[in-house]
A and B are shown apart, each in its own frame.
Chain A
């Protein structure tokens, strides 16, 4: 059979192919409008480009009226604010299992802490700059007792957009909104195709080098150079609003790059009142000693979703418990007095 014959065969089958794609498209459009298939929508944001539209929900996720994950916040009650990336947001995990919800459950077990709310202002794709913006907005509008900031070498790619880039990012979100008002299936398929681009590129690229690059001290130094000013500004804003700040470094495989971040952050917060650093390393995760690859394999099998590197329920539970223990250890909640600063 020649290639030209194959082309003729495929051309003869075109109506079958169109029918199949047509039926699949129709089914997709219907499904994406049902509650079980709904995808979260974005809205433009002048400082961040695009964020989840407030007041929507999908099968597993609720975005409240403030644009945060979970149920609506009663700002008159005491609040702990969490900012972070998709891991902190809880991608792939239902609302009730996200670490912020679990931490709230643990706090509510204490008799004096029943009123506390742990607000999840994290967002997928957000790095230190975006987290700083979200944190500042909340602190300027509401009283917050403590802010929990997720720090991870994985966020090195989420750099602050240049001011001249923001109008373009906003325009992109607006364009996507317009497209989604007509068709929900097409953007879904485009996103699915984009998801595959790294895998396709990896066929031709040096994948192994990418893996080792993120582990190196150089990667940690580079991230510190690019992003540390946002952590500094978080410290300043927290001090302005008399709010405690906890930097939580997620480093389950004890990477040299994360060690650099931790060392630099520790120096940065030295002598600062009400600013704390907590590192979740392999010991905190209960991983057995071994080289980085062995630690990664064990972490991957025990603490991440099956087909995804995002944390599973076990990881969220562990993070919540660790933070709860940290708060108790630092005297954040002495008995009889709901206080959010250590005594």
Chain B
């Protein structure tokens, strides 16, 4: 059930009407849990059982950690919880990747692991809800959170439908606190929730989906692109993925806000980042903070000397890349971001003597960092898979990356389709960035409307309605991060 589909519109209107009629927050919790499982079952009902099983395991592990004070016993419960979550994630997501890579490795020897291949379907949202569940057991283990004695409350933490499928990866502590008390929805929350949903839908239907129509054909013929076309394709993808993913997060936050929940901000003007570490404080904040708190810091963080810090950084970013998908291009993307983080740290992590950089210097830093971000997106997007004569598939992303990087061999000029993409980028990206910059100056985000003067708000909404009518993609297209 996509957010940008009529199915979801009817679903949410019905759910919301019933939700508001329920007088007690406990009844609302039970109702939300039921509709969240219904929402998930709309994708594939079989995986509801998988989510139920991991939820029950995590719940009892939490109770176990609460009942036992010995560190060793508590660690066993933590290991059971982490292993069950990462086990299902690893099995469904990485089993095929592992076998394909093993096949490639064994190919020269004539051996094959073909017989071990299974036809597995990736459960939607598994990367998100397993990580979210780990925040619960990890926080209980560290004593930051008391284990809940209410299975339904915990099940709702895992399954809450606005953020179930593609995040934000909320902290169980934060969600649990909101679930276990009455929620108020005032006029301000109602309108800001509606605006966030409208804003997110507009970014998806008008910006992201139209950019996708222009970007995908270019990546499909990466071998014949000119240098200008390659650059524009990556630039277009940078805005496509930002609009697509931030749109989902905005709709999720808006929907949750209408229900009285506050989910964390997932994007904070990432393309205004001035350094690699700044980028990760702005892009997919829920994942980057999860990786920091549950992987990087437990590995030792920056406490074990420079070499260990670099090791921890690389490991965290590689695993973060791998989280996105079972393919080598994601590993390279993670490696790349780990590398630039390490290099940035080596050169002083931007520690400056002056209090605030000048606007010109800041602009230079933003543009410079943006080029590094673009290169990362090139690695991320190149995911070509070749089908061999015997029907097997082979990862060809490396060759695709090389083709794009050496596209200058095909010349430097623009074709009509690339010129069209340039026009679309200028039309979509420039106003969006301008709006974000204005919001940033006021300490706000573009998805909140309170900082805008009313005439500006009316004008912006008119432009959104107009562009939606004329250029909105009429069919519900999936969100990019659903595949993760």
Contacts and interface: CB of A to CB of B under 8 A. Distances in A.
A24 B460 CA distance: 10
Contacts of B476: 199
Interface stretch (A103-111, A120-128, A188-196, A258-266): A188-196
Given A20-B461, A24-B469, A288 B387 contact: yes
A299 to B, nearest CB: 14
A199 B475 contact: yes
A256 interface: no
Contact of A188 (B21, B186, B469): B469
A24 B474 contact: no
A23 B20 contact: no
Interface in A22-78: 23-24, 27-28, 31, 37
B465 A189 contact: no
B469 A195 contact: no
A13 B10 contact: no
Nearest to A200: B6
B5 interface: yes
Measured as residues with beta carbon below 8 angstroms from the partner, the interface class of chain A is: 20 to 34
B212 interface: yes
A307 B457 CA distance: 30
Contacts of B187: 1, 5, 9
Interface in B1-54: 5-7, 10, 17, 20-21
Interface residues of B, number: 35
B387 A196 contact: no
B462 A27 contact: yes
A192 B185 CA distance: 34
Nearest to A20: B461
B421 to A, nearest CB: 12
B213 interface: yes
Nearest to B1: A203
A209 interface: no
B6 A1 contact: no
A175 interface: no
A203 B7 contact: yes
Nearest to B477: A307
Interface string A74-109: 000000000000000000000000000000000000
B209 A1 contact: no
A182 interface: no
A19 interface: yes
B191 to A, nearest CB: 7
Contacts of B184: 1
Contacts of A6: 20, 190
Interface in B189-229: 190-191, 209, 212-213, 216-217
A19 to B, nearest CB: 5
A3 interface: yes
A24 B465 CA distance: 6
Contact of B469 (A19, A28, A203): A28
Nearest to A301: B220
A192 B469 contact: yes
B191 A196 contact: no
Given A13-B191, A203-B7, A307-B475, A1 B462 contact: no
Nearest to B475: A307
A203 B10 contact: yes
B374 interface: no
Contacts of B99: none
A316 to B, nearest CB: 15
B466 A195 contact: no
Contacts of A288: 387
A21 B465 contact: yes
Given A28-B466, A199-B475, A307 B20 contact: no
B186 A24 contact: no
A307 B469 contact: no
Contacts of A202: 6
Given A19-B458, A20-B462, A196-B474, A189 B6 contact: no
A202 B8 CA distance: 12
Contact of A306 (B186, B216, B454, B462): B216
Given A28-B469, A203-B6, A1 B458 contact: no
Contact of B458 (A20, A189, A200): A20
A272 B191 CA distance: 70
Contacts of B475: 199, 307
A58 B459 CA distance: 28
A310 to B, nearest CB: 13
A314 to B, nearest CB: 9
B198 to A, nearest CB: 10
B470 interface: yes
A1 B461 CA distance: 25
B474 A16 contact: no
A170 B466 CA distance: 31
Interface in B433-484: 454, 457-459, 461-463, 465-466, 469-470, 473-477
Contacts of A157: none
Nearest to A288: B387
A28 B213 CA distance: 24
A23 B463 CA distance: 8
A162 interface: no
Contacts of B473: 307
Contact of A199 (B6, B17, B463): B6
Q: Which 8 pairs from chain A and chain B are nearest by CB? A: A306-B213, A23-B462, A1-B185, A24-B465, A20-B461, A24-B466, A200-B6, A307-B473
19 contacts: A2-B20, A3-B21, A13-B191, A19-B458, A20-B458, A20-B461, A20-B462, A23-B459, A24-B465, A24-B466, A27-B462, A31-B470, A188-B469, A196-B6, A288-B387, A305-B213, A306-B212, A307-B474, A307-B475
Interface of A: 1-3, 5-6, 9, 13, 16, 19-21, 23-24, 27-28, 31, 37, 188-189, 192, 195-196, 199-200, 202-203, 288, 305-307
Given A9-B190, A13-B191, A192-B469, 10 more contacts: A1-B187, A3-B21, A16-B454, A16-B458, A19-B458, A23-B462, A24-B462, A196-B6, A199-B475, A307-B475
